[in-house]
Structure 1
Amino acid sequence: MSGLRLNTGGAIDRAAQLSFTWDGKKLAGHRGDSLASALLANGERVIARGFKYHRPRGIVAAGPEEPSALVTLGKGPRRVPNAKAPEVELFDGLAASGQNAWPSVRMDVGAVNSLMSRFFAAGFYYKTFFGLTKDTAHWMQFEKVIRRAAGLGAAAREPDPDAYEVVHEHCDLLVVGSGPSGLAAAELAAAEGLDVMLVEQDFALGGGLIGAAEQVEGAWAKDWVAARLAGLKSVRVMPRTTAFGLYDGNVVGLYERVTDHLSSPDPALPRGRLRVVRPGAVILATGAIERMAAFGNNDRPGVMLAGAVERYARRFAVAPGRRTVIATGGDDGYRAALALAEAGLEAVVVDSRAAASDAVAAAADKAGIERIMGHLPLELHGKPGGYQLEIAAGGSAAGRRLPCEAVGVAGGWSPAIHLVCHRGVKPVWNEEMACFLSGEPPAGVTLTGAAAGVFGTAEAVAHARASAADAVERLTGRRPQAPEAPAPGGLGPQQPLWESKAEGRKLKSFVDLQHDVTSADIKQAAAEGYVSVEHMKRYTTHGMATDQGKTGGVLGLAILAEALGQTIPETGITTFRPPFTPVPIGAIAGRARGEHWRAVRRTPMHQVQAEAGAVFTDAGLWKRCWYMPAHDGEELGKAYVREATAVRETVGMVDVTTLGKIQVQGPDAAELLNRVYVNGFAKLPVMKCRYGVMLRDDGIVYDDGVTWRLAEDDFLMTATTAQAAGVLQWLELLLQTRWPELRVHVASTTDQWAGIAVAGPRARKALAPIVADDMGDEALPFMGILRTEVAVEGGRVPVLIARISFSGEMAYEVYTPSDFGPALWRAVEARVKAEEGCVYGVEALGALRIEKGHVTHAELDGRVTLADAGLGRMASSKKPFIGKVLAGRPELTREDRPQLAHFEPVDPAQRFRIGAIVCDPEHVEGHGLGWITGVTVAPAFGGGWLGIGMIAGGPERYADREVIIADPVRGYRVRARVFPAHRLDTKGERMHG
């Protein structure tokens, strides 16, 4: 035995030596090691520091349940914090370091926190810092300090240089877990011809059988695993792949680590793949997670789960120490002691029961293992490498001390039912095995083996084959021969280890090692009224972050239940939510980053405008003309005022291609529109258009736009640029789920049409010479549609023209197939300029709509009702529509709700900005009376400053008094007057011509 590496055994490749660094120190391991096993083999005991108290921490587990040994991998932009050392596959050149410590995890200045632990109890920051002052501003300063101290590892500040992929896949059967249950289930299903995927989060297949010294179905574990793998030639086997979530429709989210284990990965490969799998059936062979027990100083390096002790000894040929004490309350803990004894190491079993089963006791005695019955671990004394574990009979204040280097704790097992709980399944407490089992899983999902509470290898294999047979029968209608599924059980007599107590002594007993939550914290939460498990969880931070209660979750519930005088099932359990283990954000984004994430969309007329000198801005995903300088050096402020003035006095044209355009076709198209719009569309005449507003189910305005009826069964709906995609998705959802009987088809045609709005007193005069048909009031009245042609250079192009206005002036929207957009633009621009007009951009467009009092998404922000927006009279009283009932709720009909209004500064020289708060002059604080959503210089009102926004009770309340528009961020206050928003051309004479 060299260091803590055993001379023989294990599943590692001793001939393949790998070099890696730990905190800059060069160390060696072997292929097949994890970072955790390699660190243990090199005698590195202190791997991390506690979150709150900065106490030294070591390796506790051998899998994703690891709560303490969180490390940082790599450097620079590829740095990954909070990696769990047992999950990291060792490779040549791996660089790992400690975190949450200074200057290092071996000597951390932050450990001084442990001396002040009495002040850091649950909720200490609220009690301490809120108690010091009632001033919110002071608390905010304290909060900054607290947030800087929070967290463990530090994420890289540079952009992630790696690529990721998102893959969508299907299969007949997805098996999660490659332990004996998973292998047996996948083999049977594949033999029956199913398309099977087998995923395993580990880099090796076999689960607990890797390196195990047991026989399965007459063969040694290694040979049995090899035989099963040979039967999986048609199966898509994916190691290094974690099933992190189970979602509606039994969709499973997988994350595959593609290159994290390679020294020199192919740059063409992604670092990871997010796989979205839609299987016909799912078998969860996810095993079980061993629990910790609460006793004094149970967080010290060297205190491990007994199952991990066995795993490191048998699979990795690493010992936690030369003398190890195993604390257990069941037969299963003896496995670790036997593994150590077989390696020639000293092991002592401390069993809380009066007696073990005959077979286990005989095996222990044969191996020369000392057994101490009827005792619990009480407190660990000493330093890493030289401990003394104090043990005592239940309730004793003091007891015998056992010298040791490590402690293995077999506190009981919790089936890994997290994934099925993601589907809302409620766990059910099993008193005999002292664990939560899954409730009835959703159709198509089966738990098998230890995940189903079936412990024991032979029993788990039989259960898995029965589960696979069920899946085959469900998918094919035929049932293959398989054994009957055994009932849950197989652990033998259990006495779960919860919390060790000693009368008159206060023990520092940890429950959640990742968040430094002690048993005292949980009891304090109960004493302070946090009696719900969800409240206790949030008050103490128990079971949060990457831990999610894997090792200490049930232990914490047991302590809470005792504090409340309840049983564990009466106390309940917190809700498991995805992801089961962390997933890189880059993997969720996949290749959708940079321009792949925010693709640049340009209208068909973009290049024509660019050649003319247009300045562009981003409007959602689109590039839109912001303003069109009349000469070099003309800035935005002057340009947009000039453009808006031209629209009011002569004519202007603007690119409106970006408006969402949705073709709604079918015999029931009018009925669909009648249901989604608040106003009527069923009787809209052909070749007419109408402005409509949609509500959400809750009565809040969702979107607005003009819809054109081109035929009895053919409508062209326009939506705002911001909500175009959302409106289409919503219509599709309605047709698929609520009204599948409607004979309607919807499709986006935004990219198929190029659009130009021509507005101003001379709009008709500008267009008429190039339009093939009459555009007079009778041929093309207000809200009428004309299908015609426009003369362009080299010929004519087909167009649809609607006489509608967003500016309040006489206006037309002209649409043509996108390929004709540039030619149409040039033809219209020549005519507009001939009438002393100009091209205008979205800044002038905004100015015109503010003057007219038209709303956009700036006002329709998800909080506004029809009445708030000044559109209350649009709603039909004769027909139902989405949102009609809930729009009548008292909260949405209050007279003091914020309503649309105009705002002008009393002093013309002063200005205010978007986002400012409208306040009562005597109460300039808090949320105020309303807010500003848009501002502009207003040519229609003499060129003064004008704002639009919302004010409580509507503008009529403030006709004879002033308000204060305050901006605490920018630091100004402006006295202002309030006016109705709809005060420009109230009779519509300019708009109607």
Structure 2
Amino acid sequence: MQVDRLPQGGRIDRSRPLSFTFNGRQLSGFEGDTLASALLANGVHLTARSFKYHRPRGIVGSGPEEPSTLVELEGEDASANQPATTVRLRDGLSARSVNCWPSPGFDLGGINQLFARFLPAGFYYKTFKWPNWHLYEPSIRKAAGLAGAPAEPPAEGHFESRFAHADLLIAGAGPAGLMAALVAGRAGLRVMLADEGIEAGGSLLSRKLTIGGQEAMTWVSETVTELAAMPNVTHLQNATVWAYREHNYLMVNERAPENPGLLERNWRVRARHVITATGAIERSLVFGNNDRPGVMLAGAAQTYANRFAVRPGKRAVVVTNNNSAYSAAADLRAAGVEIAAIIDIRRDVPDAARALVPDTEILSAHVLTTALGHRHVRAVEIAPIGGDATRRISCDLLAHSGGWNPAVHLFSQSRGTLRYDETLASFLPDQPAQNTICAGGAAGALTLAEALRSGAKAGARVAGVQAPECPDADDLPYAIEPLWRVETARGKAFLDIQNDVSVDDVHLALREGYDNVEHVKRYTTGGMGIDQGKTGNINIIGTVALKQGLRLDEVGTTTFRAPYTPVSFGAIGGIRGESVVLPYRHTPITEWNLAQGAFMYEAGARWRRPGYFPRPGESFQDTVNRECRAVREGVGVYDGSPLGTFELKGRDAGRFLDHLYTNVMSTLKPGRCRYGLMLTDDGLILDDGVALRLDEHRWIVSTSTGHADVVNSHMEELLQTQFPDWNVFITTVTSQWNNATICGPKAREVMAALEGDIDLSPETLPFMSFAEGTVARLPARVVRVSFTGELSFEVNVAPRHMRALWDAIMEAGAPFGIGPIGSEANHMLRVEKGFLSLGHEVDGTVDPHDLGMGWVMSKKKPDYLGKRSVALRRAGDAVRRELVGVRPTDPNRQIPEGAPLTPGGERKPTEGLVTACVWSVVLNRWVGLALLERGASRHGETVHVRLTDGTIPAEVTAPIFYDPHGGRLKS
């Protein structure tokens, strides 16, 4: 039964009841509710326990500013650390409180309250130093903190990523944002309007105001309808602009878009102009026990009464230092809440504010010293300013307002500067660093009329048109007298409720020398984590200023960082359907691959290439095994076009390649190839690849797909800074040459079936050579290299001939059972052969000797790039991790890639890690590669792979499992 639901009103759909579970208790709500509003409607006020002290906590806010009630969603919604105020209620939702056990009502961690005086800010760094901090760290993190990440990905649905361009991106669909969108949209600009709320309206959803003589939400509805009819306007709701990067590059997280099966969508938007109409966030007052359940921001209480038709309490005390709380008190009284008294720190309360709450006791020049109650507020104590507590008032709701802070987070992320405004007692946007305009509450326009005018002017300025007249709007003028903390407070007075940061913690930080506001933040954790200083940041700054005798602008603000609100990793790494800002690069075979049902991967510089080609009824492993067998036993073909390709010309090209590679390249004869490694200045592996000599002064350099751009920059930098006089010219020809690589024991038969004039015999075209001529009647260059360990022919043609070549290969190879193979099979084949992979075995810590490739380090050349660094690093005889093979004792047991290798599986410093583990179709078992300390001398030894739930014993072997002498690839 929803005991505190009003019989009518609100923006909920009472015809659509919803059932949900909270901490195992079955409750009900309506469509349009948030989890927080539904909990309050059901009379649930004790909803959480605090971060460090495990104090009882309730719902404080009504939106993303909520600092107290974080929940963990279970089942198909599985996610952690979600503010209950932003969780949209749905039928079957299951949620539970975080950081308490077994429940918020009875939490064993509550024992911390008895020792609170011994747990000040930074106590753990001072206390748990002996014998080692890491000994205590797991227990401390378990006792204090947030929920863990979900154990499993969502059972259904997927995440998506999109790119967009806009003339104007508007963050926020409150009155200012809607007005700006209306003006810019009518002017024909491409507008993207993104708002974090479930529906548009911003503060108008929570207040009873009029615009142009009609209800404000009627104006909102008409405006949204007009915007929806504009083809140049994209309107996103339930979408938060969470990051603002350089050159007006912004991130927008759209949750539950209207698309079946799509969970979240992350937009990357490049905008010519940006308007931040993000509104303002109400800040708390700092008095004793200001965190008890039933202590709520006045604006939040007003929201629950007006928007959700929920009575947040029966008898309320309102405490304020500004006018806005009077409209909240009036709306609460209209909702049936008894207003016991209004406590105002100001001596002179404006008549307009008093007029909103006639017949209500208003105690001016008073402060609230403490809230009484443990699991729920039951009374307050008040006192005249400068005096002792003289009166106690009973209540079950304490609605307080310390003023409003413009939400400058995005503006600050854009590197705009802030200034302190004495009139509003808050920091406002000052000088923008990009094409950014702030409007509405975010610019300090805190009344409805000011917000509408501010939005209209901002939209008109971007569109280059005259700002229109705005409709009339009545609102109470905003006036405030700042109060950073109640100096006579009794009990813990919290500045940052989410992180349990009290006034005493800030004073301690100052006493210990951390007097810079950024140091205070890190010492106390105030304004960190999910909160990012939304409700308490300026109170911390004010407390520092009071203690040091400074002005707030002298103290300054901390840095607001992305994300503005929590964003799931799934959304950040979501699948892209297509791309705009950074287009995908396709080969002429992409359409063919998609038609064959290929699962496409992104590789290197935005290339799309097939990962594998599943058939109906096949598992992933079945598919990859089939493709591998085709190469090992018959013939396969893959598209190698994304490999980086560069043409080098000039009389010094050979000399330059000798400097670039670790081995000698200048001795190559035309028509021959050589494998080589490139090192960085510090002697670590940059890339590997094959160099081809076309004639005396003309070469082709082939690189990995992922490092193609890096190698290009590397070569250009060397020529421009170290060898400007050398006669070498580099041309990127990656897109000029496409290639189809035919590989497998039957590769020569397939090549012979293609009509061509190149002699393919081993004597004429041996391994590591190439020839030019025709293949399938197309001009081509055929290179005898192998990346799979099998006989291979890399057929290079111009892009305009690639599809014809591919079709001819598939037709000629059909009698031999040819099939396409993807990058997954290619990886498995490489591991079987012991071929290194960038990002796996080449992890940024190894040199060629570690990988058993000392043979590629020339002893004839006096110098090459990285040679001296390798010698210096190895001169100290330090223990090095070396490449080995690993064979699990259980042949059917897979080893997770990245798993550590430790002595006997014990939790000691690791001796190495597993870099790859694949199913070998040749050996019919799992095999892997690893980097192991002194690995080259430990063949035959048993090592242990440590997992969270046990260990896997494995034998150390040579890192080549197939054809160790190379007879197959040279055949």
The two structures have a TM-score, normalised by structure 2, of 0.73
Of 266, 270, 291, the residue aligned with 2:262 is: 270
Contact 1:309 1:336 survives alignment (8 Å): yes
Do residues 499 (structure 1) and 485 (structure 2) align?
yes
Question: How far apart in 2 are the matches of 1:363 and 1:742?
Answer: 81
Structure 1 residues 783 and 623, CA gap change in structure 2 (3 angstroms): closer
Query: 2:100 maps to which residue?
Result: 101
Alignment of 1:390-789 (within 5 A): 390-394=381-385, 396=387, 398-473=389-464, 479-482=465-468, 493-502=479-488, 507-562=491-546, 567-591=551-575, 624=628, 662=643, 664=645, 678-679=660-661, 687-694=671-678, 700-708=684-692, 717-720=701-704, 724-727=705-708, 731=712, 744-747=731-734, 752-756=739-743, 784-788=769-773
Alignment of 1:227-376 (within 5 A): 227-232=222-227, 233-234=229-230, 235-258=233-256, 268-343=260-335, 345-360=338-353, 362-363=354-355, 367-376=358-367
Structure 1 residues 319 and 666, CA gap change in structure 2 (3 angstroms): same
Q: CA deviation at 1:300?
A: 0.7
Question: How far apart in 2 are the matches of 1:878 and 1:78?
Answer: 59
Cα deviations by residue, 1:376-396 (Å, 9 ceiling, x for unpaired) = 222111256662212234555
Q: CA deviation at 1:60?
A: 0.9
Cα deviations by residue, 1:257-306 (Å, 9 ceiling, x for unpaired) = 3379xxxxx8x442333333333322211101111122211111111112
Question: How far apart in 2 are the matches of 1:343 and 1:948?
Answer: 68
Question: How far apart in 2 are the matches of 1:749 and 1:90?
Answer: 55
Do residues 83 (structure 1) and 68 (structure 2) align?
no
Structure 1 residues 875 and 483, CA gap change in structure 2 (3 angstroms): farther
Contact 2:98 2:146 survives alignment (8 Å): no
Contact 1:660 1:725 survives alignment (8 Å): no
Q: Give the aligned residue type for 1:662.
A: L
Question: How far apart in 1 are the matches of 2:94 and 2:325?
Answer: 34
Question: How far apart in 2 are the matches of 1:672 and 1:197?
Answer: 51
Do residues 863 (structure 1) and 845 (structure 2) align?
yes
Query: 1:60 maps to which residue?
Result: 60
Question: How far apart in 2 are the matches of 1:337 and 1:391?
Answer: 18
Question: How far apart in 1 are the matches of 2:376 and 2:930?
Answer: 72
Give the secondary structure class of the aligned counterpart of 1:547.
coil
Question: How far apart in 1 are the matches of 2:208 and 2:778?
Answer: 82
Query: 2:146 maps to which residue?
Result: 151
Q: Give the aligned residue type for 1:725.
A: G
Contact 1:321 1:385 survives alignment (8 Å): no
Cα deviations by residue, 1:100-123 (Å, 9 ceiling, x for unpaired) = 434433343433332233343333
Which deviates more, 778-787 or 554-563?
Answer: 778-787
Q: CA deviation at 1:211?
A: 5.4
Give the secondary structure class of the aligned counterpart of 2:643.
strand
Structure 1 residues 875 and 249, CA gap change in structure 2 (3 angstroms): farther
Larger radius of gyration: 1
Structure 1 residues 515 and 826, CA gap change in structure 2 (3 angstroms): same
Give the secondary structure class of the aligned counterpart of 2:253.
strand
Alignment of 1:91-170 (within 5 A): 91=90, 94-131=93-130, 133-134=131-132, 138-139=135-136, 143=138, 146-147=141-142, 150-152=145-147, 155=150, 157=152, 159-170=154-165
Q: Give the aligned residue type for 1:554.
A: I
Of 153, 165, 168, the residue aligned with 1:173 is: 168
Which deviates more, 39-48 or 186-195?
Answer: 39-48
Alignment of 1:869-880 (within 5 A): none
Give the secondary structure class of the aligned counterpart of 1:752.
strand
CA RMSD, 1 decimal = 5.9
Give the secondary structure class of the aligned counterpart of 2:163.
strand
Give the secondary structure class of the aligned counterpart of 2:491.
coil
Contact 1:669 1:743 survives alignment (8 Å): no
Question: How far apart in 2 are the matches of 1:158 and 1:326?
Answer: 44
Question: How far apart in 1 are the matches of 2:205 and 2:817?
Answer: 76
Structure 1 residues 856 and 548, CA gap change in structure 2 (3 angstroms): closer
Give the secondary structure class of the aligned counterpart of 2:399.
strand
Query: 2:589 maps to which residue?
Result: none
Of 168, 181, 190, the residue aligned with 2:185 is: 190
Structure 1 stretches lacking a partner, 5+ long: 261-265, 474-478, 608-614, 630-652, 831-839, 906-912, 936-945, 979-983
Q: CA deviation at 1:580?
A: 1.9
Alignment of 1:878-917 (within 5 A): 895-896=875-876
Give the secondary structure class of the aligned counterpart of 2:240.
strand
Contact 1:174 1:281 survives alignment (8 Å): yes
Which deviates more, 331-340 or 186-195?
Answer: 331-340
Q: CA deviation at 1:219?
A: 4.5
Structure 1 residues 778 and 570, CA gap change in structure 2 (3 angstroms): farther
Q: Give the aligned residue type for 1:785.
A: F
Contact 2:278 2:407 survives alignment (8 Å): yes
Cα deviations by residue, 1:439-494 (Å, 9 ceiling, x for unpaired) = 43343332111111222221221111111112112xxxxx334579xxxx997553
Give the secondary structure class of the aligned counterpart of 1:402.
strand
Structure 1 residues 915 and 55, CA gap change in structure 2 (3 angstroms): closer
Q: CA deviation at 1:522?
A: 3.2
Contact 1:176 1:286 survives alignment (8 Å): yes
Q: Give the aligned residue type for 1:115.
A: L
Question: How far apart in 1 are the matches of 2:929 and 2:173?
Answer: 64
Query: 1:210 maps to which residue?
Result: 205
Contact 2:900 2:945 survives alignment (8 Å): no
Contact 1:172 1:281 survives alignment (8 Å): yes
Contact 1:628 1:841 survives alignment (8 Å): no
Give the secondary structure class of the aligned counterpart of 2:692.
strand
Question: How far apart in 2 are the matches of 1:571 and 1:676?
Answer: 58
Q: CA deviation at 1:829?
A: 13
Contact 1:670 1:681 survives alignment (8 Å): no
Contact 1:757 1:814 survives alignment (8 Å): no
Q: Give the aligned residue type for 2:299.
A: G
Q: CA deviation at 1:68?
A: 1.5
Contact 2:420 2:553 survives alignment (8 Å): yes
Question: How far apart in 2 are the matches of 1:341 and 1:434?
Answer: 28
Q: Give the aligned residue type for 1:185.
A: A
Which deviates more, 454-463 or 536-545?
Answer: 536-545
Query: 2:71 maps to which residue?
Result: 71
Contact 1:49 1:56 survives alignment (8 Å): yes
Structure 1 residues 13 and 683, CA gap change in structure 2 (3 angstroms): same
Contact 2:740 2:794 survives alignment (8 Å): no
Contact 1:661 1:719 survives alignment (8 Å): no
Q: CA deviation at 1:753?
A: 1.7
Q: Give the aligned residue type for 1:522.
A: V
The two structures have a TM-score, normalised by structure 1, of 0.71
Structure 1 residues 255 and 933, CA gap change in structure 2 (3 angstroms): closer
Query: Matched residue pairs, number?
Result: 873
Question: How far apart in 2 are the matches of 1:91 and 1:932?
Answer: 43
Question: How far apart in 1 are the matches of 2:404 and 2:809?
Answer: 68
Do residues 379 (structure 1) and 370 (structure 2) align?
yes
Contact 2:883 2:932 survives alignment (8 Å): no
Q: Give the aligned residue type for 2:38.
A: A
Contact 2:612 2:623 survives alignment (8 Å): no
